[in-house]
Structure 1
Amino acid sequence: MLQKATADFLVQLDKNNNKPWFDANRSSYETAKKDFEQFIDAVLREAETLIPELTGRKAKDAIFRIYKDVRFAKDKTPYKNNMGAGFGKFEKNKMNAAGYYIHFQPGACFVGGGLWMPDASGLKAIRQEIDYNWAAFQSIVGKASFKKMFGTLDQDQKLKTLPKGYDADNPAIEYLKLKSFTVGRPLQEEEFYKKNAVKMILDSIKEMKPFVDFLNTAVEV
């Protein structure tokens, strides 16, 4: 489980997102960081039975830096107001495969998975896999337990026109229009403080795994 103090730090950071405050409260950051690392390590150890590639993987290989890349951002505040970790078949900083993501942010916690904005070759491969194996894909995303937990795939990145090479009457056309293939499950902050917090994440991973595996089959990872 996580400690409430980790959320308290993120709340204060959101209100005081500047280097002087961060430097003055670095010890609180280090405590929060260690707390999140311990939680992610526990998740990774439990997830090894489902995803053998995670064997021996450490939290430091999964957790994203708290420092923002502000070079092209309108918001120039230097720090993220959340803690996140991504893991799967891909190596650290090589997001070329589908995987899983844990996002801890007071008021906006979630667990998700899939492949966000694949490159042109990856996008083509995924669309082709969905088209060729529509029945298998439909059985995954249309499963009652999957829909109950995640709803539908995220629709933020989607073509308004038909993707090249596909007709409007293709039964998979609404999925083929997507440019990202991800799902997410909103979580309450308080759920991370309970003793079954790791199990909560593992239950989500188990439900997502066929979806993530399907995508990785498409991109041959």
Structure 2
Amino acid sequence: MLKASTFQFIKDLKANNNKEWFDTNRKIYQIAKDDFLTQVQALITGLEGFDPEISIAKLDPKKCIFRINRDTRFSTDKSPYKTNMGAWFSAGAKGVQKAGYYFHVEDGGCFLAGGLYMPETEALKKIRQEIHYNHKDLLAILNEKSFKQFFPKALDTENMLKKAPQGYKEDNPAIDLLKLKSFTASHSFGEEKLLDAGFDAFAKEVFASMYPLIKFLNQSFD
């Protein structure tokens, strides 16, 4: 589980998102970062228990986490720091399109997620082809009791196309899945869950329930 002091740092940063405050509290940030890395390693260990590709990849927790600094070059929001901590777990090398798992810690917005967000054009074509031929397998995964327990809305539909993608027709039995531009599922939870001693087991259960989805998406690239 994460330490309460780490989550408190995230809250404090949200209220004091400026370089002066961050520099003054840099040692506290480093302690929080180290604690987050410990939590990330625990999640990797859990993933290795059921995902053989993650086990083979031997993920480095330091390479899984995201930088705290924001890229403000093209944003009207010039706040220098992210007010969350996040980590991405995937067996794919850097820059390789491959589905994986995501851990997000934020005041009022903690969640565990997985899949592939906004894949590039060629990867998207491969996923749609896989869905076209094996949509019944994907539907079975989304309707599995263990999956629906954590993801009752199945896949996120925020970036769904209004019309059938090129090469497919509206009467395709998998049209609703083919219209998706992202293939992700997420489960939100409260601060109390994050700070509970049973969090590692909880996170492993959530991630394990989405493993069939990760496997389905990644077989598109085989």
Which bin holds the TM-score, normalised by the shorter protein? over 0.9
Q: Does 1:129 align with 2:94?
A: no
Using a 3 Å threshold, how does the CA distance of structure 1 residues 64 and 95 change in structure 2: closer, same or farther?
farther
Give the aligned CA root-mean-square deviation in angstroms: 1.2
Distance 1:47 1:105 in 2: 22
Distance 2:198 2:189 in 1: 13
Structure 1, 44-53 or 78-87: larger mean CA deviation: 44-53
Q: Secondary structure at the match of 1:133?
A: helix
Q: Secondary structure at the match of 1:171?
A: coil
- After superposition, give the CA deviation of every residue in 1:86-114 in whole Å (9 maximum; x if it has no partner): 012123x4351000000011210000000
Distance 1:108 1:53 in 2: 29
Distance 2:63 2:51 in 1: 15
TM-score by length of 2: 0.94
Q: Secondary structure at the match of 1:146?
A: helix
The amino acid across from 1:13 in the alignment is L
Q: Is the 8 A contact 1:51 1:88 kept in 2?
A: no
Q: Does 1:201 align with 2:208?
A: no
Q: Does 1:120 align with 2:152?
A: no
Which ranges of structure 2 fall in alignment gaps of 5 or more residues? none
Q: Which residue of 1 aligns with 2:148?
A: 147
Distance 1:65 1:111 in 2: 18
Q: Does 1:24 align with 2:32?
A: no
Q: Secondary structure at the match of 2:186?
A: strand
Identity %: 43
Q: Secondary structure at the match of 2:88?
A: strand
Q: Which residue of 2 aligns with 1:71?
A: 73
Using the TM superposition, give the Cα deviation of residue 128 of structure 1 relative to its aligned residue in structure 2, in angstroms. 0.8
Q: Which residue of 1 aligns with 2:109?
A: 108
TM-score by length of 1: 0.95
Q: Secondary structure at the match of 2:215?
A: helix
Q: Secondary structure at the match of 1:203?
A: helix
Q: Which residue of 1 aligns with 2:15?
A: 15
Q: Which residue of 1 aligns with 2:171?
A: 169
Q: Does 1:39 align with 2:36?
A: no
Q: Does 1:48 align with 2:39?
A: no
The amino acid across from 1:21 in the alignment is W
Runs of 4+ residues over 4 Å off in structure 1: none
Using the TM superposition, give the Cα deviation of residue 213 of structure 1 relative to its aligned residue in structure 2, in angstroms. 0.6
Residues matched between the structures, number: 219
Distance 2:61 2:46 in 1: 13
Q: Secondary structure at the match of 2:70?
A: coil
Q: Is the 8 A contact 2:163 2:170 kept in 1?
A: no
Which ranges of structure 1 fall in alignment gaps of 5 or more residues? none
